[in-house]
């Protein structure tokens, strides 16, 4: 009996060691890809289930891909998924998905009128996004109104891309692309519905941001990072 238990224990130790070695190898591979920015587009997401993490990682990856394509040649999640590689790693109770694709492959994918993805890329339905109190007398400027009218992530992205072409927006992108975004204006999206939540100014002298939709004092900290996707932008 003791010998049998010893065999089981030894097997468990070997399995744990093998899993740890495999995880280390995967992390090393991810770091190699991240360092080869001239070859790959990449992004990642961590959620409670693998499928959601995969969708969110792909959505984030798509922003980089489409930023290098013309306005009439934008791609959808369905377009890029067959050509995208994924690395999945357990992070405690959560699942991390690392998505990557060669830039040469991304450039070669399809062309023309791609169908906009309606995939749900979010968090539990019953988890609300924080809404700040509305100041009824405040009227947002024309740019903010125009962005808010787009309603969702893909439409807002297309508008920013168009305005960049016209010279009205100088730059825009994801937070991971910049080291310090305190001075940047932000557009916040609900990851589940992909709808715009609000827009925030850069950090003011008081250390907070101004909600560009309702004029109230606000902060990025008021919006859970595991629920909110963010695009920064710089207007002309």
pLDDT band at 1 (very low <50, low <70, confident <90, very high): low
For residue 17, pLDDT over 50 is answered with: no
For residue 31, pLDDT over 50 is answered with: yes
Asked if residue 152 and residue 87 are part of one domain, the reply reads no
Cα angle 85, 187, 172 (rounded to 5 degrees) comes to 65
User: Does the residue 69 lie in any domain?
Assistant: yes
Asked if residue 21 and residue 64 are part of one domain, the reply reads yes
Give the separation between CA 4 and CA 11, rounded to whole angstroms.
11
> Is 0.85 topped by the overall pTM?
no
Asked if residue 155 and residue 88 are part of one domain, the reply reads no
User: Does the residue 2 lie in any domain?
Assistant: no
Asked if residue 146 and residue 95 are part of one domain, the reply reads no
Give the separation between CA 197 and CA 131, rounded to whole angstroms.
8
**Token pair recorded at residue 217:** 């004092």
Q: Average of pLDDT values for 214-219? A: 88
User: Does the residue 135 lie in any domain?
Assistant: no
Which one of 108, 132, 159 terminates a domain?
Answer: 108
Which long-range CB contacts under 8 A does 196-200 form with residues at least 24 apart?
196/147, 196/148, 196/150, 196/151, 196/152, 196/153, 196/156, 197/129, 197/131, 197/223, 197/228, 198/131, 198/132, 198/223, 199/140, 199/144, 199/147, 199/148
If one compares 162 and 66, the residue with the highest pLDDT of the two is 162
Asked if residue 149 and residue 101 are part of one domain, the reply reads no
**Residue-level pLDDT at 134:** 42
Computed over every residue of the chain, the mean pLDDT equals: 79
**Residue-level pLDDT at 137:** 61
User: Domains in the chain: how many in total?
Assistant: 2
**Residue-level pLDDT at 126:** 35
pLDDT band at 3 (very low <50, low <70, confident <90, very high): low
**Residue-level pLDDT at 128:** 40
Asked if residue 94 and residue 30 are part of one domain, the reply reads yes
**Residue-level pLDDT at 2:** 57
SS3 190: strand
User: Does the residue 148 lie in any domain?
Assistant: yes
pLDDT (tens digit per residue) in 41-67: 998 888 888 888 888 888 888 888 888
What's the chain's Rg over C-alpha atoms? 21
180, burial (CB in 10 Å: exposed 0-12, middle 13-18, buried 19+): exposed
Cα–Cα distances in angstroms (integers) from residue 193 to residues 129, 190, 228, in the given order: 11, 6, 10
Give the separation between CA 109 and CA 157, rounded to whole angstroms.
19
pLDDT (tens digit per residue) in 101-142: 999 888 888 744 333 333 333 333 333 444 444 444 678 899
Domain with 224 in it: 142-235
Contact in structure between 187 and 196 (CB atoms under 8 Å): yes
């Amino acid at each position: 009996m003791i010998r049998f238990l010893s065999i089981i224990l030894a097997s468990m130790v070997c399995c744990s060691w093998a899993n740890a070695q495999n995880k280390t190898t995967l992390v090393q591979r991810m770091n190699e890809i991240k360092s080869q920015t001239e070859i790959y587009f990449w992004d990642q997401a961590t959620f409670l289930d693998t499928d959601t993490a995969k969708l969110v990682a792909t959505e984030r990856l798509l922003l980089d891909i489409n930023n290098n394509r013309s306005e009439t040649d934008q791609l959808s999640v369905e377009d890029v998924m067959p050509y995208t590689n994924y690395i999945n790693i357990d992070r405690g109770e959560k699942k991390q998905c690392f998505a990557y694709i060669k830039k040469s492959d991304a450039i070669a994918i399809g062309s023309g009128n791609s169908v906009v993805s309606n995939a749900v890329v979010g968090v539990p339905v019953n988890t609300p996004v924080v809404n700040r109190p509305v100041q009824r007398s405040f009227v947002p400027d024309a740019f903010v109104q125009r962005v808010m009218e787009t309603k969702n992530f893909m439409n807002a992205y297309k508008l920013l891309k168009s305005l960049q072409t016209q010279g009205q927006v100088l730059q825009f992108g994801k937070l991971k692309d910049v080291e310090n975004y305190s001075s940047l204006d932000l557009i916040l999206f609900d990851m589940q519905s992909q709808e715009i939540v609000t827009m925030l100014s850069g950090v003011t002298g008081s250390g907070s941001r101004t909600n560009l939709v309702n004029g109230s004092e606000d902060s990025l900290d008021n919006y859970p990072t595991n629920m909110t996707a963010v695009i920064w932008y710089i207007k002309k």
